[in-house]
């Protein structure tokens, strides 16, 4: 099952985890150097809820931003 919000379609986003070594120039060093870059995923904050859809209750995966915005009605 995909980690996607059933209401807004928000899903995972990819980015980088950057590892830097060294002392920053403003602290008296020669600067930070990138020594490793690894791909990572940012996942949405999904909750499984009972949601009222067309008069009946259904279990859906909904992100917390949709819950806060009031886009759903809890069963």
> pTM for this structure?
0.76
Q: Which domains does the chain have, with CATH numbers?
A: 13-69 (2.20.150.30)
Q: Determine contact, residues 51/74, Cβ cutoff 8 Å.
A: yes
- Which of 5, 14, 70, 56 is closest to 37 using CA atoms? 14
Nearest 5°: phi and psi at 17?
Answer: -105, 115
- Which of 75, 65, 73 is closest to 8 using CA atoms? 65
Q: pLDDT tens, 11-57? A: 999 999 999 999 999 999 999 999 999 999 999 999 999 999 999 99
Residue 1's pLDDT band, with cuts at 50, 70 and 90, is low
Residue 29's beta-bridge partner residues?
Answer: none
Q: Determine contact, residues 67/49, Cβ cutoff 8 Å.
A: yes
């Amino acid at each position: 099952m995909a980690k996607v919000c059933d209401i807004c379609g928000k899903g995972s986003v990819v980015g980088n985890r950057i590892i830097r070594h060294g002392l920053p120039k403003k602290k008296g060093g020669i600067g930070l150097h990138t020594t490793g870059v690894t791909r990572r995923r940012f996942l949405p904050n999904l909750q499984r809820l009972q949601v009222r859809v067309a008069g009946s209750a259904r279990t859906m995966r909904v992100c917390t931003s949709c819950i806060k915005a009031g886009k759903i009605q809890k069963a």
